[in-house]
A and B are shown apart, each in its own frame.
Chain A
Amino acid sequence: MTDLYAPIGHILLYIFLAPLFGGVLVGLDRIVTARMQSRYGPPLLQPFYDVLKLLRKQNLTVNRFHSYFLCWFLVFMLVSGSMFFVGSDLLMVIFAFIVADMFLVLSAYSTNSPYSSIGAERELLQMLSAEPMMLIAAVGLYMVTGSFDVSVIASSGDLLILYLPGVFLGLVYVLTIKLRKSPFDLSTSHHAHQELVKGVTTEFAGPSLALIEIEHWYEMILLLGMVYLFFAFNTILAVVVTLLVYFLEVLIDNTNARVKWELMLKSAWLVTLVLGIGNLFVLYFVFHR
């Protein structure tokens, strides 16, 4: 029974701390963005103010189902993130993550609104572009460490980045897609892109929107956790690299305009094939023969 304390502790830490870290990171994002644009930017804790304000607003809905689906988005995001931080199977973490994203898509579709539906369709295209690379990253990590378990990968002590440079670069590329940063913020965006209003999140108001924001924080911590794994042999280095990668994403966000979905899909798959699968091939033929 005592060996349940650690996993439960990890889960609780994730559930309560991840949104705090996530919010701070988003706040940092906005400040850095503002400074890049020669502005001052909002206070660091602005995302929290936003969420707390949204929670008190009126809950406008189109039908009674789409907010309900959002709750399940949160539930499965928590499941996915908890599984990751408990250290269980990385493939299942990614699959649970996909389920969570599916609930977002279903929620948007169920509103029967044109902007939401376009956003949902584009969200599916984003998933199509990004998921193969994430799963291939998991396979790559397996090939080096011999296990899909996050706990084994994180504690393996191998210089994973040396074996998997291509996979890492590919993962950072699709991270832009998953974090919804320009140039790949097709389905919804934090900036005012009026071409699709707010895409997936158009019909959500008040508490539902707050929920989405919190869910994005959990998502971000999970994704950054995956980046962390590649440098897990040295904690400080890993944290620094993760923050650098995040800064890189902010930089890319500010220097690129949104692209069409075809470019996103083609480039993501090209990167997956060349960097991801290429890395796997090299590993297989060099190390397993």
Chain B
Amino acid sequence: MHWIIFLILFPLLPAVLLLVFKSASVQKWIVLISSVFICTGAIGLAITNTQGQAQYFQIGSDFFNWLIVAGDIALALVFLYICRRLPLKLYWIPLLVIVQYGAVVWYDLTGRVPETQVCLFIDNLSLIMALIIGIVGSLITIYTVGYMQHYHEEHPEVPDRRGEFLAAIFLFFFAMYGIIFSNSITWIYFFWKITTLCSFIMIRYSLSEEAIHNAFRALWMLLIGGLAFSASILYVSNHCGTVELHRLVAMDKTIVLLPILLISFAGLNKAAQFPFAKWLLGAMVAPTPSSALLHSSTMVKAGVYITLRCSPVLENTWAGMMVAFIGGLSFLAGSALAISQRDGKKVLAYSTIGNLGLIILCAGIGSHRVLWAAVLLIIFHALAKALMFLCVGTVEQQTGSRDIEEMHGLISRMPVLTIIMLVGIAGMFLAPFGMLISKWAVIEALANKNPVFAPVVIFGGSLMLFFWAKWMGKLVSVIGPQPSQEKGIGIEWIAFYGLGLLTVLICALYPLVGRYMIEPLYGYDPMLSWRVELTVGIMLGLMILLPLGFFVHWKNLVHVKPYLSGANVTDPHQFMGSFGSARDWSFKNYYIHKYFGEERLFRGAIVGSIVLALLMFFMVKP
């Protein structure tokens, strides 16, 4: 219990300190020390609490409930303050704030919200999320220190407010821990909105017109989710008699399906599923650490986390099936759209939307084996995606571009970073790494009971393979000895090595993760059978041996130039043209805008998802 309070409240301290102390080196030490504390806290919590049973905690007095209400009011005022300079035609943004907060605060103050006794709880899912936030989050925060240093060197026009950025990160930790440990949905609502605020602060960091515009777009889209959340609080207060989540998910479905559906809707919204995908794509304009932390491994995971919490209610209902369909649609659309993107961060964003869609699909279906796979997906996706975002961020800083075509031959220019990137990409789709094991588990689970969904996962997986593989191809092209572009990367290496190692390690240890962390939640899964573990073990062992071959000197290799119909010249990227002068040749990947381009697919996905969302709400009636 004390660990929980520590984890929730402690990050506020560095947040405040970072606003007070402006010196970069002091900030670095604050960040490092706090990260170590948070990381240790999360690990300590995990070690001391793996009995597997959910534990519930009561807080004696009503004081904290009133604190949350005060927090709500303060947050509403902050949001209105943010909107103060908006043009009148965007009236609906402050309107969203007023409506949802007005309703919730009124209910709170007039005592219509039932009393909460059990405010905090943990179970293994919270522990897993806590570990992800603690470990992955800390590594990203450490990376941020180095990243922001380079960022401000390269962008002198952006005012240096890195203290605010780092403070927003720690505020975010506070909010995330609040979400995963809270049992009362009013509390979750409060912390939920704080993550929205953090997202807003981070997206608008560079204060460019595009950044501010995208920040407001993220704000209003996320406020819609908040509106759904507040509507569910009102409904629950009127009809269900309790706001405690653990009681709500155990209630009779005919009473509780609608508010749970509203909460799932908020989850879909936060996880940037269609039709809300646009805010995540716009958020890519933010500095990379926010993309890594908020928009791939943690905040959007809160969305899928809450949907997973709701899945016991969604199981075996038509509404739940619609949630699964929205997830499936997002998976397919996200994977297809990523094929046509050249911007590295956009590819990662669409891939995130896709993978979260897969997790939502599992949550909507709700059977135990599927949920087992979903948790595995959460873990591995958080690791690999965070790693990829950090790598792309550094590549952009070192080479000046995050266009995938500019990453041609990166293995010759930045060998160590490229190998880590290859581990990250492989971790996203290749056997025997984590995401593949998770997808395998999903297909096996779906084939069991819901085979109609298996093709969605299969097609989405094949699409994913295409865009990841062609990115790998770009990185792996060997262009001959080049000057290294890796100089100047400092503290970021901690994050790279840490996340890279974890990606491989957790994959190797997935049976342990499964047995001790997931099995208590959802029961035994055949993925833990010794035959599966042996197969994965053999393949992973082989993969780990792979880099060794790079150090062997192969005998009898004769180096020749690539075949260019005999027209080779000295420069490998040129050939002798027909007028007797050397001409350039270049090769670009296929982006296939005709079929996978944003113009057609994006609109189609939005229309499809709106239809499904409407169906979802209509199917609540028994």
Contacts and interface: CB of A to CB of B under 8 A. Distances in A.
A touches B in complex, CB < 8 A: yes
Interface of A: 58-68, 71-72, 75-76, 79, 83, 88-89, 91-92, 95-96, 98-99, 102, 105-106, 108-118, 120-121, 124-125, 127-128, 131-132, 135-136, 139, 142-143, 148, 197, 202-203, 276-277, 280-281, 283-284
B52 to A, nearest CB: 28
B440 A76 contact: no
Contacts of B589: 121
A59 B558 contact: yes
Contact of A95 (B431, B455, B553, B565): B431
A110 B109 CA distance: 66
Point out which of A83, A102, A118 has the most chain B C-beta atoms below 10 A from its C-beta.
A102
Contacts of B550: 65, 68
Contact of B549 (A71, A91, A112, A142): A71
Interface stretch (B39-47, B246-254, B464-472): B464-472
Interface residues of B, number: 57
Interface of B: 409, 411, 430-432, 436, 440, 443-444, 447, 451-452, 454-455, 458-459, 461-463, 465-466, 469-470, 472-474, 476-480, 531-532, 535, 538-539, 542, 546, 549-550, 553-554, 556-565, 572, 585, 587, 589-590
Contacts of B458: 131-132, 135-136, 139
A109 B542 contact: no
Q: Across the A-B interface, give the 6 residue pairs with the lowest CB-CB distance, nearest first.
A: A113-B562, A109-B473, A95-B431, A112-B477, A117-B587, A63-B478
A59 B560 CA distance: 10
A62 B560 contact: yes
Contacts of A283: 451
Given A92-B431, A99-B431, A131-B465, A125 B590 contact: yes
Contacts of A65: 476, 478, 550
Given A61-B557, A132-B458, 16 more contacts: A61-B560, A62-B559, A65-B476, A72-B542, A72-B546, A75-B542, A92-B535, A95-B440, A99-B431, A102-B430, A109-B473, A121-B590, A124-B470, A132-B455, A135-B461, A203-B562
21 contacts: A58-B556, A58-B558, A64-B554, A71-B549, A72-B546, A89-B535, A92-B532, A99-B432, A106-B473, A106-B476, A109-B472, A110-B476, A111-B478, A114-B585, A117-B477, A117-B587, A128-B465, A139-B455, A148-B444, A148-B447, A280-B454
Point out which of A112, A132, A281 has the most chain B C-beta atoms below 10 A from its C-beta.
A112
Contacts of A76: 539, 542
Contacts of B557: 59, 61, 64, 67
Contacts of B465: 98, 124, 127-128, 131
Given A91-B443, A105-B473, A135-B458, A79 B539 contact: yes
Given A67-B554, A89-B535, A102-B430, A277 B455 contact: yes
Contacts of B563: 113, 115, 197, 202-203
B409 to A, nearest CB: 7
Given A79-B538, A95-B440, A106-B472, A139 B454 contact: yes
B564 A112 contact: no
Contacts of B556: 58-59
B463 A128 contact: yes
B590 A102 contact: no
B596 to A, nearest CB: 11
Point out which of A99, A136, A283 has the most chain B C-beta atoms below 10 A from its C-beta.
A99
Nearest to B433: A99
A117 B587 CA distance: 7
A148 B476 CA distance: 34
Contacts of B572: 112
Contacts of A112: 409, 477-479, 562, 572
Contacts of A121: 470, 473, 589-590
A148 to B, nearest CB: 7
B469 A124 contact: yes
Given A91-B443, A95-B431, A131-B462, A280 B451 contact: yes
A88 B546 contact: no
A105 B589 CA distance: 13
B142 to A, nearest CB: 31
A105 B469 contact: yes
Contacts of A60: 558-560
Contacts of A99: 430-432, 539
A148 B384 CA distance: 28
Contacts of B466: 124-125, 127-128
A284 B585 CA distance: 52
Point out which of B430, B472, B539, B589 has the most chain A C-beta atoms below 10 A from its C-beta.
B539
Contacts of B459: 132
A150 to B, nearest CB: 12
B568 to A, nearest CB: 10
Nearest to B555: A59
B539 A96 contact: yes
Contacts of A131: 458, 461-462, 465
A75 B459 CA distance: 27
A89 B452 contact: no
A232 B412 CA distance: 50
B548 to A, nearest CB: 10
B469 A102 contact: yes
Contacts of B585: 114
Contact of A63 (B549, B559, B564): B559
A106 B587 CA distance: 15
A145 to B, nearest CB: 11
A124 B466 CA distance: 6
Contacts of B451: 139, 142-143, 280, 283-284
Nearest to B467: A124
A110 B462 contact: no
A87 to B, nearest CB: 10
Point out which of A95, A135, A276 has the most chain B C-beta atoms below 10 A from its C-beta.
A95
Contacts of A120: 473
A139 B436 CA distance: 16
A96 B431 contact: yes
A142 B563 CA distance: 46
Given A91-B443, A102-B469, A83 B535 contact: yes
Given A68-B550, A132-B458, A143-B451, A62 B479 contact: no
Contacts of B590: 121, 125
Given A58-B558, A64-B557, A128-B465, A135 B476 contact: no
A62 B561 contact: yes
Contacts of B452: 280-281, 284
Contact of B478 (A110, A124, A125): A110
Nearest to B590: A121
A115 B459 CA distance: 28
Contacts of A135: 443, 458, 461-462
Contact of B440 (A66, A92, A113): A92
A132 B474 CA distance: 24
A195 to B, nearest CB: 12
A62 B560 CA distance: 5
A88 B535 contact: yes
A155 B463 CA distance: 33
Contacts of A114: 562, 564, 585, 587
Nearest to B575: A114
Contacts of B470: 121, 124
A92 to B, nearest CB: 6
Nearest to A120: B473
Contacts of B447: 139, 142-143, 148
Contacts of B440: 91-92, 95
Contacts of B477: 109-112, 117
A66 B585 CA distance: 21
Nearest to B585: A114
A278 B415 CA distance: 47
Nearest to A149: B531
A246 B477 CA distance: 36
